[in-house]
Amino acid sequence: MKNLFKEPFIHFMAMGLLLFLLYSLVNESSESREDIVIDINDIESYTAKWEMQWKRPPTQEELANLVVQNIKQEVFYQEALKLNLDHNDEIIKRRLSQKMEFLSNDLATLAEPSGEELEVYFNENSEKYLSPYRYSLYQIVFSYDRHENPDETIVKVLEKANTATIEAMESEGDNLPFPFHYKNVDSRELSRELGSVFTDNLKSLELNNWIGPVASGFGKHLVYITDMEKPRLPDLSSVKEEVLRDFQYEKQKEMNDLIFENLKTKYKINFVFDDSESAKAFKTLLDKKLEQG
């Protein structure tokens, strides 16, 4: 714990929060909080914009996220005005709220992480940097369109698989636009072609044996894996730029969230909806989202 407080990044995080806390105290003219009102017209507006972009209505979860995002935008906008960030700048609310976020991001990137900090982050998030599985394999597929029961067909084909050559097995499957032979292909590329369900099933299969059925979105497969390279963790030096980018992004988000948590206490958030059960449930969801930040 003592070492933690010696870290430069912690010092800058504390300085950033102190800056905004001092500003709040100096500029507080009364004990009352400022009101932000969200009513049914706002909800309809958010919904209409979502439908225009995504060509479908938002789910309750998506709509709640939109409301919280707009509240956050309004809080940052009001604080940006108080900091005079709009001086000689003809921009809309979104841009002003982004300026507030940029300030918090700048605070989070003032200190470059030490080699030790980056190493700790790398080890704690090692799964993000693992190389993908790689395979060399043969596959044949029995599609749902051409087989009433692909599993039953595969059982019959497997009965002669052990005595047939690999080349002879190619003609047993359906003629779909996938290679019979994949050589040294990584799981991400294979997922793009045959889906993640297929590649997830490959991880536990034994080598040099026809095995099936292995499901995909196209049907059921028989698979013969000749080589499998499991994920490995690269040296930090080879992925340092990517790790540093991820580290800074997470620290910026932490700083942004901490500042927002402090600023939103100056505002009283009012939800003006009807008394229906669905409206009450939605208000409960919004309150929960705001508590979570």
Whether 256 contacts 235, CB under 8 Å: no
Distance, in Å, from the CA atom of 72 to the CA atom of 261, rounded to the nearest integer, reads: 10
Residue with tokens 């940029």: 102
Neighbouring CB atoms inside 10 A of 94's CB total 12
* pLDDT given for residue 90 in this prediction: 57
DSSP label of 265: G
For residue 279, what are its two tokens?
Answer: 């409206």
CA distance 141 to 176: 8
Alpha-carbon distance of 128 to 121, in angstroms, equals 11
Q: What does the pLDDT read at residue 12?
A: 57
Long-range pairs of 78-87 with CB within 8 A, sequence gap ≥ 24? 78/34, 78/267, 79/263, 82/27, 83/23
Is residue 234 within 8 Å of 131, Cβ to Cβ?
A: yes
Burial environment of residue 195 by CB neighbours within 10 A (0 to 12, 13 to 18, 19 or more): middle
- Alpha-carbon span 130 to 103, nearest angstrom: 33
What local confidence, expressed as pLDDT, does residue 27 receive? Answer: 52
Dist. CA 160–CA 96, nearest whole Å? 70
Per-residue pLDDT of the chain (293 residues; tens, 9 = 90+): 455 445 555 655 666 655 555 555 545 444 456 788 899 999 999 999 999 889 899 999 999 999 999 999 889 888 877 877 766 665 556 776 777 776 666 665 656 788 898 999 999 999 999 999 999 999 999 998 888 888 988 998 998 887 888 888 988 888 888 899 999 999 999 999 999 999 999 998 999 999 989 999 899 999 999 999 999 999 999 999 999 999 988 888 888 788 788 888 888 888 888 889 999 999 899 988 888 76
pTM for this structure?
Answer: 0.52
Which pLDDT value is given to residue 31?
46
Q: What is the pLDDT of residue 34?
A: 77
For residue 14, what are its two tokens? 């504390």
Using the Cα atoms of residue 97, residue 102, residue 108 and residue 110 in order, give the sign of their dihedral: negative
R_g of the chain, CA atoms, integer Å: 28
The answer to whether the beta carbons of residues 141 and 221 sit under 8 Å apart is yes
Q: What does the pLDDT read at residue 249? A: 87
Dihedral sign from CA coordinates of 243, 247, 252, 253: positive
Q: Which residue has the tokens 């901490």?
A: 258
Nearest residue to 45 via CA among 25, 66, 15: 66
